[in-house]
Structure 1
Amino acid sequence: MTSTATINYVEFAARDLAATKAFFERVFEWTFTDYGPDYSSFSAADAGLDGGFFSAPIANETSNGGALVVFFANDLDSYLAKVVDGGGNIVKPIFEFPGGRRFHFKEPSGNEFAVWGHPIENFGSN
């Protein structure tokens, strides 16, 4: 039975909607559907959860109490390189935590995200 109280959609502000879309297309291979010049959605098929970006002069950061959305990657180091090559800014380099490793980054509009992976000794396992 499907609950009606589950997380179904997430929206983020984007200072530069075009740059944010280009970043997620390049780094995470997402596709977007535009709804006018100030809104673009992504799908759960690409991102794991439906959502979108809207034009606004603000950004989501953990330093101001924002929620942290965390991606999973089997190869954390390659995703760090992809984020940097795609124009992301690393705000916390790879660090270990109980159960894995992760890094934090900001995409071109300034929203903070993280990517985590298994500890080195468990690399490749799910």
Structure 2
Amino acid sequence: MARLNYVEMATADTARDRAFYEAAFGWAMTAYGPSYAATTTGDVDLGIDGDLPAGTAPLPVIEVDDLEAAQVMVEAAGGVVTVAAFGFPGGRRFHFADPSGNLLAVMQAG
């Protein structure tokens, strides 16, 4: 099973933008250090990342059951891995470009 479960966006000021999303939409956001915060609803969540360059396009993240199998399928379908698999709080993921150059990530919880 694969489903969109996360969107990660750049922020120039994590605290400011966290306060904005909490006030504007009533979302509770968890801080994961000084430069990262995210909703943790278990549905499609939003992460804001102060370490990304300003103006970076949002990064859709697709959740899968088997990260290695997903990478094989992405590459076989014409995708290009741009960031090798790495661990993060909540699991592992890799980034890829689709045939049109759009950047996405695939993650496996765990």
Q: Report the TM-score when normalising by structure 1.
A: 0.44
